[in-house]
Chain A
Amino acid sequence: MVSSRDFRPRCDARDVTSAAMAAACGRGLLAPLGGRLRACPRASLRSLTSAAPLYDVVVSGGGMVGSAMAAALGHDIHFHDKKIALLEAGPRKEYHLPESYSNRVSSISPGSATLLSSFGAWDHVCNLRCKPFRRMQVWDACSEAIITFEKDDLDDMGYIVENDVVMSAVTKQLDAVADRVEVFYGSRAVGYTWPLPSHSCDTSPWVQVELADGRRLQTKLLIGADGHNSVVRKEAEIQNIEHQYDQSAVVATLHLSEATDNNVAWQRFLPTGPIALLPLSDTASSLVWSTSHEHASELLTMDKESFVDSINSAFWSNVNHSDFIDAAGAMFRSALSLLKPSGTAVRQLPPSVANVDPESRAVFPLGMGHATEYVRHRVALIGDAAHRVHPLAGQGVNLGFGDIACLTHHLSAAAFNGQDLGSLKHLLRFETERQRHNVSLIAAIDLLKRLYSTSLSPLVLLRTWGLQATNALPPVKEQIMAFASK
């Protein structure tokens, strides 16, 4: 059953791979390490690597998800006597809360907030800066269809937090367990050597990690959290289903024209892509506008006034409406109100934008990806290394935090049973659990993206009626909210 996950030993150098990787990672040259990406003959490795320090877990990639994984394990009671290492290519950053908001923000679901508080990071986030939102309004640009989400008890649906704030909070908690978790800054892993399956054990059974500065580490379990261009995933030769969207996301920090009780997240589906306004404070919101590459570069370069005007008109203009669709939509709505006299929720109007923070505009390309396998013998992928989604549902980092919660749970149980941490048995349980959750969500997000990328009448009609019907069914909405906030 698991023989396909055993690695085939390879001894040939692969310069092509190194150049491709250098390009893909967008980093400097890997020239000195060119041919060493494949394993040396394994038999000789034993003497070489017996001196390399052995860790129980090495997390490769020190972003939000990688750092949180290391922190979660470091704070776990059953990992008290284990050695964990976190490899981060960038330097250590000291964070001081700036006056202005960063343009990279994430929507943190209640489930992710629970994970962060499980190792004490959520308190730091709240002390720094975060904005809870209570309501989400999503509507179409081509019709009057609208759907609103809010919790019955008016509890917080989620939190908008700057990525830097999350990083700072997690780093603080990493420092608190520095005796167990060793963080290697400025250390990029350039090569991995995979062990042979456990029963042919004349050579080291551990994963060998080679760093750019020549240092070596050994580990019983390697967790790849190195983003959607994951080197771990590529080196492990795990197939990745990926697709570059013909869209880029424009982000910016906006100032509203008037102070308001800013606790609603707004999203409107335009034919070119969804535009979202996420609350940061009573006077500021963050923009995430997914649109075509050309329009994105236009938006980036246009002057402030035109930029603000485009945003406002994107939210307010009805230019994409057609009479036919409006009539059909109205008819359906009245039909629904016959069945459900309480009717659909009241449509609120989004706040209007007055100004944009200078130098807060940025663009990044969008794509979708999903690894066919999340785990191998002694390897696990989490976060964007395993799956990459469109930001339209605000789920990207939440899926990663969900992976962390699940993997930590299984590793903790395995450690308490004295099991070998890299054993496929519990790694497969993690994979099954997460794939079951992720695949449906990723497919749904991709479907929504494609469905809303068109202005063809039949599809607009379909999605209009679909949205209106969903909006009229609280049980369905509750299910959606529950699934997305795990």
Chain B
Amino acid sequence: MRIAEWGEDRPAERKGTESSGTPRRRPCCRRTRGAGGPERDDVGRRGDAPRLRPRPERPAGCGRATVRRLLSTSQSSVDPKEMRKFQLLAHRWWDEQGEYSALHSMNDIRVPFIRDTVLNMGSAYQRGSPLSGVKILDVGCGGGLLSEPLGRLGASVTGIDPLEENIRAADQHKSFDPVLAKRIQYKCGSLEEIVEESVETFDVIVASEVVEHVADLEMFIKCCSQVLKPGGSLFITTINKTQLSYILGIVVAEKIAGIVPEGTHEWEKFVPPEELERLLEANSCSVKTVNGMLYNPLTGSWSWIESTSINYALHAVKSGDQAQTSQTEPLSEMESEQCSATAGTSV
């Protein structure tokens, strides 16, 4: 079954939605879209600064018995346009020389980053399984490229992705290894959907190469914070919104060198670390580390760099009583500052 066919079948199930390339319209709207520019929410906002429209519908591709909601008051961070991009490539996840080769080689730096940070936070180290006993949520897991190494290191991983094709590819790939099949669980859905049943259940959340595809970043971060245990870690890798990232990340990577398939990224949705930090602080997560990353297309490998102008990785810790503190962490200082600040202003 070709993936394209799967996409084409969808219109029969729902009317005038994602497969036709646009979100659901209100009758009087006319949409305009510049080349690579932001989508405009037309209802009474023409000419305003671009604003990402809230998604009124459940994302496509999620099970045959989907309840079709015409309009929902809850917001979702999933963008169907983004999902469509990935739908076509769902069967290419595990080709190490294919479209996702850069993500495969990113494991060489992001897995050690996660592993070492978690080990340094002081949990007991079990030989051979450095992450055993750690519950990890991999948001936007795709085909499971990051979930599997984390699972091999002993963690219990829950991978979520809004696209069912991705979950299917991930499930199929892990099914051959009985150890991984037990340690990793994949669920189709968005972060918001699991918030209610998973409040404060995860030690670590990993959102790698996800926030630049998310529709509502504020809500995404809020949900991450809700689902994370106090003292838990949040790891985000994404792309900065700078001129350099436009040149290298979009022009070179997509159009010239073909490192990522064209149209994968939109510069407008790139997130500068300052913005991410602001959102995290607002949700009681303190940022511990921000590291720049650089991809070398000639060797196909990633490395850490000082500058965060293009790609970067961020580690934040949710504040809370169960925070694991080491001597070098300023967390306790910040906590006491916050406490005194709020104490001063509380009514």
Chain A residues with CB under 8 Å of chain B are 1-3, 54, 77-82, 197-199, 201, 204-206, 220, 415-420, 423-425
List the A side residues contacting B94 at CB < 8 Å.
198-199, 201
Chain A hits for B149, CB < 8 A: 417-419
Residue of A1, A79, A425 most packed against chain B (CB within 10 A): A425
Q: Are A417 and B108 in contact (CB under 8 A)?
A: yes
Stretch in contact with the other chain, from B8-16, B122-130, B234-242: B122-130
Q: Which of B43-51, B171-179, B222-230 contacts A (4 or more CB under 8 A)?
A: B171-179
Residue of B nearest to A3 (CB): B97
A209 CB to nearest B CB, Å: 16
Given A198-B95, A198-B96, do A416 and B127 touch, yes or no (CB 8 Å)?
Answer: no
B97 and A2 contacting across the interface, CB-CB below 8 Å: yes
Binds A, one of B74-82, B151-159, B249-257, B310-318: B151-159
Partner of A1, one of B91, B97, B127, B128: B97
**For the complex, what is the distance from the CA of A144 to the CA of B177, rounded to whole Å?**
65
Evaluate contact between B112 and A417: CB separation under 8 angstroms. Answer: yes
- The contact sample of 26 A-B pairs, CB cut-off 8 A, is A54-B177, A80-B128, A81-B154, A197-B95, A198-B94, A198-B95, A198-B96, A199-B91, A199-B93, A199-B94, A199-B96, A199-B98, A201-B173, A201-B176, A205-B176, A416-B115, A417-B107, A417-B108, A417-B149, A418-B107, A418-B111, A418-B149, A418-B150, A419-B107, A419-B149, A419-B152
B92 within 8 A of A: yes
Taking each of A82, A197, A418, which has the highest tally of chain B beta carbons within 10 Å of its own beta carbon? A418
Q: Which residues of B contact A3 (CB under 8 A)?
A: 97
Q: What's the minimum C-beta distance from B272 to chain A, rounded to whole angstroms? A: 29
| Residues of A close to B148: CB separation below 8 A | 418, 420
Q: How far is the CB of A91 from chain B (nearest CB, A)?
A: 31
Give the CA-CA distance A206 to B173 in the complex, in Å. Answer: 12
CB contacts (< 8 Å) of B98 on chain A: these are 199
The 5 A-B residue pairs whose C-beta atoms are closest, nearest first, are: A80-B128, A418-B149, A199-B95, A418-B152, A81-B128
Given contacts A198-B96, A205-B176, A206-B176, contact A81 B111 (CB under 8 A): no
In the assembly, what is the distance between CA of A94 and CA of B53, in Å? 76
Q: Within 8 Å CB of A79, what residues of B?
A: 128
- B108 CB contacts on chain A under 8 angstroms: 417
Q: Is the CB of B128 within 8 A of A82?
A: yes
Residues of A within 8 A of B177 (CB): 54, 220
Interface centre among A82, A416, A423 (most CB of B within 10 A): A416
Known contacts: A199-B94, A417-B149, A418-B150. The answer to whether A80 contacts B111 by CB under 8 A is no
Contacting residues, chain B, for A204 (C-beta < 8 A): 176
Q: Which residues of A contact B130 (CB under 8 A)?
A: 416
Q: Are A77 and B107 interface neighbours, CB within 8 A? A: no
Q: Who on chain A is nearest to B91 by CB?
A: A199
Q: How far is the CA of A197 from the CA of B92 in the complex (A)?
A: 12
Residues of B within 8 A of A (CB): 91-98, 107-108, 111-112, 115, 127-130, 148-154, 172-173, 176-178
In the complex formed, the residue of B with least CB distance to A200 is B95
Q: How far is the CA of A199 from the CA of B97 in the complex (A)?
A: 9
- CA–CA, A54 and B108, complex, Å: 25
- Contact status B172-A201, CB under 8 Å: yes
Please give, as numbers and ranges, the residues of chain B lying within 8 Å of A206 by CB-CB distance: 176
User: In whole angstroms, how far apart are the Cα atoms of A81 and B126 in the complex?
Assistant: 10
Query: Which residues on A sit within 8 Å (CB–CB) of B112?
Result: 417
Q: Are A417 and B111 in contact (CB under 8 A)?
A: yes
B178 lies within 8 A of A54 (CB): yes
- What CA separation (Å) do A77 and B172 show in the bound complex? 30
Shortest distance from the beta carbon of B284 to any chain A beta carbon, whole Å = 30
How far, in angstroms, from A320 to B66 measured CA to CA in the complex? 93
Residues of A within 8 A of B152 (CB): 415, 418-419
Contacts of B128 in A (CB 8 A): 77-82, 415
CA distance A424 to B300 in the complex (A): 14
Given contacts A81-B154, A199-B98, A419-B111, 8 further A-B contacts (CB under 8 A): A82-B128, A199-B95, A201-B94, A220-B177, A416-B115, A417-B107, A418-B149, A418-B152
A64: shortest Cβ distance to chain B, in Å? Answer: 26
A2 and chain B: residue at smallest CB distance? B97
Alpha-carbon distance A197/B91, docked complex (angstroms): 13
Point out the residues of chain A lying under 8 angstroms from B92, CB to CB: 199
Q: Which residues of A contact B96 (CB under 8 A)?
A: 198-199, 423-425
Distance of A220 Cα from B179 Cα, bound (Å): 13
Instruction: Give A205 to B153 CA distance when docked, in angstroms.
Output: 20
Residues of A within 8 A of B176 (CB): 201, 204-206
- Closest residue of B by beta carbon distance from A77: B127
What A residues does B107 contact at CB under 8 A? 417-419
Set of chain B residues within 8 Å of A1, measured between Cβ atoms: 97
Shortest distance between the CB of A278 and any CB in chain B (Å): 40
From residue B321, how far is it (CB to closest CB) to chain A in Å? Answer: 31
A419–B127 alpha-carbon span in the complex (Å): 16
Alpha-carbon distance between A80 and B152 when the two chains are bound, in angstroms: 12
Q: Which residues of B contact A199 (CB under 8 A)?
A: 91-96, 98
Q: In whole angstroms, how far apart are the Cα atoms of A419 and B96 in the complex? A: 12
The residue from A54, A81, A417, A425 contacting B129, defined by CB atoms under 8 A apart:
A81
- Identity of the chain A residue whose Cβ is nearest the Cβ of B129 in the assembled complex: A81
Closest Cβ of chain A to B138, distance in Å, is 13
**Which A residues are CB-close (under 8 A) to B150?**
418
**In the complex the two chains form, what is the Cα distance from A420 to B177 in whole Å?**
11
Q: How far is the CB of B185 from chain A (nearest CB, A)?
A: 17
Q: Which residues of A contact B129 (CB under 8 A)?
A: 80-81
Q: Could you tell me the distance in whole angstroms from the C-beta of B167 to the nearest C-beta in chain A?
A: 15
Chain A proximity of B56: nearest CB distance (Å)? 36
A419 contacts across to B, CB distance below 8 A: 107, 111, 149, 152
What is the distance, in angstroms, from A164's C-beta to the closest C-beta of chain B?
A: 32
Q: Tell me the minimal C-beta distance from A477 to chain B in angstroms.
A: 37
Taking the closest CB of chain B, its distance from the CB of A107, in whole angstroms, is 35
How far is B95's CA from A199's CA once the two chains are assembled, in angstroms? 4
Alpha-carbon distance A222/B177, docked complex (angstroms):
16
Q: Considering the chains assembled together, what is the distance between the CA atoms of A423 and B152 in angstroms?
A: 14
> In whole angstroms, what is the CA distance A70 to B175 when docked?
27
Contacting residues, chain A, for B95 (C-beta < 8 A):
197-199
Complex Cα gap A198–B96 (Å) = 8
Measured CA separation A419–B177 after assembly (Å): 13
Q: Which B residues are CB-close (under 8 A) to A197?
A: 95
Contacts of A417 in B (CB 8 A): 107-108, 111-112, 115, 149
Closest to A417 in B: B111
Cβ of B45 to closest chain A Cβ, rounded Å: 44
User: In the bound complex, what is the Cα–Cα distance between A345 and B105 (angstroms)?
Assistant: 54
B95, B108, B176, most chain A CB atoms within 10 A: B176
CA distance A349 to B91 in the complex (A): 72
